[in-house]
Amino acid sequence: MRLTELDKTGEKIPVIGQGTWGIQAGKSKDYYEHWKKSLTHGIKLGMTHIDTAEAYGLGTSERIVGEVVAKYDRDEVFVTSKLLPTHFRYSQMKKAAEKSLERLGLKYFDMYLIHFPNPFIPIKRNMRLLEELLAEGKTRYIGVSNFSVKKFQKAQECLKKAELVNNQLRINVGYQKHIINNISFYQKHGITLTAFSPLGHRGLKNLDLELMEKLEKIAERHNATIHQIAIAWLININGVITIPKSSQLNHVEANALASEIVLSSKEMNLITQSYMK
């Protein structure tokens, strides 16, 4: 698995990690064992960055991730979680972060994000929480998710000493606006983008016909699937990592293999230009 630097931290993380958005609450033991096997298999393949959030399955995702990572030395895995910004009071935010750590069975997050901006909660309050968690050693790095460039800049301005190292955004071959419009900002400042939903919620089934044909031709050239090419397109962009989710072992293996695909500049441009037409 290829590694890349997180922001300018010196921290090396895999270009492809594992998402857990699909883990639901109230399911059978077999359902959760299936997810745990998939996540464990992904870790063995080098996808040691696991992304979760208190919102996923009402905390169930964090609990399952915690049971998986408990089998490994702490420095073998990189765990990201996210604060659901519906906690209005500062004390509620702090308690929510501590509950997430409790469900994960961890003393600290590797990275902790604000899940999305809430217009009814001052960004300054969110940033105060992140900075305090850093100071207390309860997270190693901080960032945001679903923030526009303008909101990202405002959030950074609210921090006294710390820096945001990550913005997690929905990016895939069928939804490229953050790359086309804003990638230069993030690359200029060395900020890592984490692309969630790298295959879209429908597995690329709703792509434009021209873009689909281009993906199929590129996939044939690389003896790969269009899904692997879609993931490869993301991680061939400087400063972008991704977190595909899968509970199927064969899909986990296919995702990991996508890290080995190097697309030419011509192939990268074909995908982008087909989207823009």
Catalytic residue positions, numbered? 56
Count CB-CB contacts under 10 A for residue 127: 22
| 110 touches 133 (CB < 8 A) | no
Side-chain half-sphere CA neighbours of 221 within 13 A: 13
Helix axes 249-257, 226-235, angle to 10 degrees: 50
* Residues pairing with 5 in the sheet: 12
Separation between Cα atoms, residue 104 and residue 85, nearest integer Å:
19
| 205 touches 158 (CB < 8 A) | no
